[in-house]
Structure 1
Amino acid sequence: MNSALGQGLILLSLATATVGCILGFAAGRSGSAAGLRWTRWLAGTYATSLILANLVMEYALLTHDFTVKYVDMVGSTSSPTYITIVSLWSSLEGSILFWGMILAIYIWGFLATTRQGHERMTPYTLATVLAVGTFFSFLIAGPADPFSAVQPRPDSMHTGPNPLLQNHWLMIIHPPALYLGYVGMTIPFGMGVSALLRGELGASWMALTRSWMLVPFGFLTAGVVLGGWWAYEVLGWGGYWAWDPVENASFLPWLTAAAFLHAAMLEERRGLLKAWTVVLLLVTFALTILGTFMTRSGVFNSVHSFTQSAIGPTFLVFLAVILVISVLLVGLRMHLLSDEGSLGSPLSRDAAFIVNNLLFAGFTFVVLVGTVFPLLAEAVRDIKLSVGAPFFNQLSVPIGLTIVFLMGVGPALPWGRTSGKEAASLLWVPLTTSLILGALALALGMRQLWPVVTLIVSLFAALVALRDMVTPVSALMRRRGLPPLAAASLAFRRGRRRYGGQIVHIGVALVVVSIAVSSSYQVIEEGMVPKGQSLTIADYELRFEESRSFREPHRDVLEAQFTVLQNGREVGSLGPRLNRYSGQMNPIGTPAVLSTARQDLYLSLMSVAKDGQAAGLRAFINPMVSWLWVGATVMVLGVLIAAWPRRRQKPATKAAA
């Protein structure tokens, strides 16, 4: 029953998406109000059918209906309930189904926010979104069908989802956050296609599209960082980012989306980079499809990717169609994409934003080439190549630091023309302060070049952001005599988008400093530690007390208990683990981490002697890692503030005569 019901709902979604797509394009061309109403109804039906299909799959998973293909693949009667629920996105077919549900949620959000107004933009936007929905419904109905009826395998073969996905609670929130970022890019993409088809590329379209881009950008930011946190807490190598192909796949659209958000501001305020902004919007969506292909085709060897599948070529065809249509649309509307303004001065916010965008493009190119080139080399010349972290670090660190520096220069300068004297007066206080603090860091023992440069540049950007937030408050206090809290509240309400952007910049500064310090000053020690003896790392002693084995519902656990002493004083205990899952030959480690504001003590258990009298341990001291998670949280908070919709003004009522 679950198989038939699920397949019926997917076929309904495919039919409504196809018809709605055709009708939407027709309504956009003819301006038919009735056609728009039908398109909206079909879009709502499509979204509802996909949400219901996901609920049917969840019901099948929770009731262990092994006659459903996907449940037979990832289900297990021994898995905890929360693992059973999140196994929906633990493998290829379920993840594509979940992709469809996220798109359905965004469609309902778009329908709800466009009930009044935007009649000229909505038909083409919905038609484009439903075209994307048609593709994914086709995948779910055909090559990635999770609802096929099967003969259940023996119960001993029902081992649950991928063990790496069962090993930490972050897998509950990391994939949904990433999906909300990836899939959400469909709505701005649809708006971009609509604007190009209608030839209406004014400031009002850009403002609305930018607002819609902020939502998936915030989720993508959270998803990328949560992926790094998952790697840090699960993989046991002491790091959080390895330039893995699938990590890069999520970072690429983040870079172009960030570039778009800055370019859109320049177009709104100065009428510059109109064509470039549209291209960034289209490329961002194309990169999300490329990222989906990289994760789900199995062509890249990664702990984040799914196994080999047959849908890879289908994704490549879809990506090619998107690129061809995008190029054609931009080419046909190029006469409408000429800049309306001009660059007033190289010492201006305009110029800083332009250079900033060029650097984002360069960063994207470096990551894309380093990620895709090995695959192309193998496909064309049958040569296996590997592009490692040194390549990415050597090229991306200078580009990234220059972007952070311009993140301070841009907001410090006004729009339009600026004299050299005025620019110097605006920049010298934060720049001098950051240089003094950098010199202080040198005096305190920070000797490596790149961390010192990173600290100076990040402090400069953060100081500019703080000044930009304080200046309107102090101005209101002087002009209106308002108390500080009232002035801050009024300034925030008036410039919420600006405040959100500056909060994001402060978060970026925290993240960049954390990455520089943690990667440059990491300390590593490893060894076999006899029971009652200690492994020393910096000012810590790690005394091995005992090992113990126990059974959890879905795994066998081997844990080693270590007492942690710092400068001879006991500060806690840590229990790194080795987890063994059914059907898995090798155990999967769970590191134990003692986090402070200054540093993390990170223990990864390598082995335990058969008699339990010794444990193989790898220990890391990772400075300032906790500030990476704090900075990312600040970034997401800033995006949320910037994206929060403005309160609608109530229409004025005429006084009674």
Structure 2
Amino acid sequence: MRGRFVVTLERLLRGTRVYFSDIGIIALMLALGFTILTIVIAVVGAVRELPQAVLSAKRAVLVVAGFLVVAAAALVASFLTHDFGVKYVAEQSSLSMPWYFTSAAFYGGQEGSLLYWALMLGIFSAIFVFTSWRAPAKLVPYVLATLMFIEGFFLIVLVTVSNPFVRTLNPPQDGNGLNPLLMDPGMLVHPPMLLMGYMSFAMPFAFAVAALISGELKNDWLRSIRRWTLASWTIQTGGLLLGSWWAYHVLGWGGYWGWDPVENAALLPWLTSTAFLHSTMVQERRGMLKVWNMCLVIASFALSIFGTFEVRSGIISSVHSFAYSDIGGYFFAFLAVIILFSIGLFFFRLPKLKAEQEFDSVVSREGVFLLNNLMLLGITFATLWGTLFPLISQTIRKQTMTVGAPFYNSVNGPLFAVLILAMGVGPLLAWRRTSLNALWRNLSVPAILAAICAVILPLLGVTNVLANIGFSVCAFTGMAILYELWRGARVRHAHGEPYVKAVYMLFKRYRQRYGGYIVHLGLVFLALGVVGSHFFQIQKDVTLKSGQEAELGGYRFVYLGNLQSYGDDQQSVTSQMQIWQNGSLLSYIYPGRTMYKNFDDQPASQISISTFGLTDLYVFLGDWQGPSQATIRIFVNPLVPLVWWGGMLMLLGGVLCWWPEARKRVVYGRRSTSLPKTSALVEDKGVVA
């Protein structure tokens, strides 16, 4: 690598041709150098209390971010100019690919995705530099050093074993092309969102490490990372939602979540960060769960590194894994360093993490928050165990034993049901303890609605007991959220505000509280979609000739024949079909398959998904014989649209919680300052008795 660096410099000095890849490798090596420099300067500035050194470290972080932007731009330029002399470009793109897929190939493989990870960490670190005035001064240099330590690991991997700018001596005339499963619009948004979500958990982790090193373990560090954690949670939620949508529209198996190992890996840090966001309120309000919160922050980042490793190492077989390499040892070593270093710091500062108060009653808001955390950690453990079990079985018994969806559904299903129930109960309880009268007054309306739902559903044909329980739990929690919103609006209406304005002011003044309710309501909608599609999905495989038809779920599917088309590097077959119901033509649909050059064994599916009301008709072309016969797989998926609506509500709620509070100017003589309109303490005051 040093030789490549020297050769590139000689080209620059002689004025001979310099490739974008040459600029990229120089930028990566300079970024690595400044990363090491930042760590040294930041630590010296913290230990010797030198403000100028800390300022220099901040500037060095900006330089690192700048070089990473240059490196990323150089890789994108290599793709857009079709520089197949770059091995990574030749492997991930081809001349026939449209420019947007060519650009997206930047993160289509291992090398590019690791560069994207490092790039986003550099950008987030730069954002922290510009907003560091909000953080306690003693934490800032340690946060910078921690972020650059993480950045340094990725840069070392990038300039040694996983370099995206390696050139070949005999470049091909055309590239191999992108994996067909990634030739989808979802490719443009799903992978970068998910990788950004993994990366973003480095920010709360850096604050936790800084607090442990400096000994500043009061609530200031928690307040400093609240918005960073909310941003991480929202980004990861978006990544999970987009991943589900991609799987539903591309893979052709009729579902959106199959408990695939890579799906599980993305879910794990989301679960622990969700637990942290809830338990941190208990620490800020009551001074409790300090040890618990520190463990959750560390676990979230460790699981994000595990997820990044699993997606790009290929150590566990998955339809979501598109890169296989030998970087596993590096990631295991890094993960081990992170865990051992964090555990050492944790036990060193354990005496300072003692709780300030104890639980007064189980029937309290903090009691429900603790139950919420236990359910989330239970789901995390079960999911992690199921994900790692094939590796464990291979190591111990020398044979690979997989864990399927039935295990996850039977274990995590009841835990999620209790979790959703706790979401409805928690906001209606008071801190410390709730009297029986207040408990009945706050829970009676949602409980009565849930009971009515449980009685009516069997009369409407829902005979599955588990589905009935799921719908009733969702009814209870949904009503509890709406009831709490109505009570807040009623209080403001009693002071003269119209109801519409009262609701608007609740969200404006208490954004985190009511944004959280939107998240909970979105999860209720999502859960309704999951229950409906899981218990009531119906499927049928049929082989039809032109003019023949099939019926399923009250819909009639008429097959009209196949059309074939050919391109420069692909060929496609499309089946023409009609959907009828009650004698009326609803729509024409065109399920199909596309075969790409160099990927004959991986045809991409063009799945037809037609939504009528709250039901998806999902049609997949399995096989075909000539122009007049096809094997079709049909799914009727009830309530699946609620999954996407619920996910969008969760994202909206996450953004509302994260969005900065409006600030007002307070003037003191000739000086002025900006203060939040509402404090966390005021925000937490609800109308719960």
Identify the TM-score tier after normalising by the shorter chain: over 0.9
Aligned equivalent of 2:509: 494
- Structure 1, 104-113 or 210-219: larger mean CA deviation: 104-113
Matched, 1:481 2:493: no
Aligned equivalent of 2:586: 571
Matched, 1:533 2:565: no
Matched, 1:512 2:527: yes
Q: Say which SS state the counterpart of residue 585 (structure 2) adopts.
A: strand
- Structure 1, 396-405 or 430-439: larger mean CA deviation: 430-439
Q: Which amino acid aligns with 2:503?
A: A
Matched, 1:589 2:596: no
User: CA distance change for structure 1 residues 424 and 322 in 2, over 3 Å: closer, same or farther?
Assistant: same
Q: Which amino acid aligns with 2:373?
A: N
What pairs with 1:22-41 in structure 2 (closer than 5 Å)? 22-41=40-59
Aligned equivalent of 1:111: 129
Instruction: Compute the displacement of 1:308 (Å).
Output: 2.3
Pick from 156, 161, 177 the counterpart of residue 160 of structure 1.
177
Contact kept in structure 2, 1:296 and 1:312, CA below 8 Å: no
Q: Say which SS state the counterpart of residue 344 (structure 1) adopts.
A: coil
Aligned equivalent of 1:64: 82
Instruction: Compute the displacement of 1:491 (Å).
Output: 2.1
Distance 1:441 1:330 in 2: 50
Distance 2:642 2:567 in 1: 33
Q: Which amino acid aligns with 1:71?
A: V
Contact kept in structure 2, 1:347 and 1:413, CA below 8 Å: yes
Distance 1:117 1:599 in 2: 48
Q: Give unpaired runs (5+ residues) of structure 1.
A: none
Aligned equivalent of 1:270: 286
Aligned equivalent of 1:607: 623
What pairs with 1:323-342 in structure 2 (closer than 5 Å)? 323-342=339-358
What pairs with 1:213-612 in structure 2 (closer than 5 Å)? 213-478=229-494, 480-552=495-567, 555-586=570-601, 587-610=603-626, 612=627
Q: Say which SS state the counterpart of residue 664 (structure 2) adopts.
A: coil
Contact kept in structure 1, 2:120 and 2:196, CA below 8 Å: yes
Aligned equivalent of 1:93: 111
Distance 1:554 1:79 in 2: 9
User: CA distance change for structure 1 residues 137 and 320 in 2, over 3 Å: closer, same or farther?
Assistant: same
Instruction: Compute the displacement of 1:70 (Å).
Output: 1.3
Q: Which amino acid aligns with 1:414?
A: A
Instruction: Compute the displacement of 1:153 (Å).
Output: 4.0
Instruction: Compute the displacement of 1:303 (Å).
Output: 1.1
Q: Which amino acid aligns with 2:346?
A: V
Instruction: Compute the displacement of 1:28 (Å).
Output: 2.1
Q: Which amino acid aligns with 2:543?
A: M
Distance 1:377 1:104 in 2: 39
Distance 1:470 1:212 in 2: 30
Distance 2:419 2:454 in 1: 19
Q: Give unpaired runs (5+ residues) of structure 2.
A: 1-18, 672-689
- Structure 1, 600-609 or 641-650: larger mean CA deviation: 641-650
Q: Which amino acid aligns with 2:565?
A: F
Contact kept in structure 2, 1:542 and 1:565, CA below 8 Å: yes
Contact kept in structure 2, 1:271 and 1:340, CA below 8 Å: yes
Instruction: Compute the displacement of 1:655 (Å).
Output: 8.4
Instruction: Compute the displacement of 1:145 (Å).
Output: 0.2
Query: 1:358-404 CA deviation, whole Å, 9 max, x = no partner?
Result: 11111111001111021122123312111111111111001110011
Distance 1:506 1:5 in 2: 49
% same residue: 34
Contact kept in structure 1, 2:195 and 2:308, CA below 8 Å: no
Query: 1:152-194 CA deviation, whole Å, 9 max, x = no partner?
Result: 44335x231111101x211111011112211111111100101
Distance 1:520 1:26 in 2: 60
- Structure 1, 548-557 or 210-219: larger mean CA deviation: 548-557
Residues matched between the structures, number: 652
Q: Which amino acid aligns with 1:193?
A: V
Instruction: Compute the displacement of 1:437 (Å).
Output: 2.2
Instruction: Compute the displacement of 1:202 (Å).
Output: 1.6
Contact kept in structure 1, 2:593 and 2:604, CA below 8 Å: yes
Distance 1:309 1:51 in 2: 25
Instruction: Compute the displacement of 1:554 (Å).
Output: 5.1
User: CA distance change for structure 1 residues 17 and 520 in 2, over 3 Å: closer, same or farther?
Assistant: same
Q: Say which SS state the counterpart of residue 599 (structure 2) adopts.
A: coil
Contact kept in structure 1, 2:254 and 2:635, CA below 8 Å: yes
Matched, 1:178 2:179: no
Distance 1:321 1:60 in 2: 35
User: CA distance change for structure 1 residues 490 and 527 in 2, over 3 Å: closer, same or farther?
Assistant: closer
Q: Say which SS state the counterpart of residue 649 (structure 1) adopts.
A: strand
Distance 1:655 1:192 in 2: 38
Distance 2:473 2:430 in 1: 20
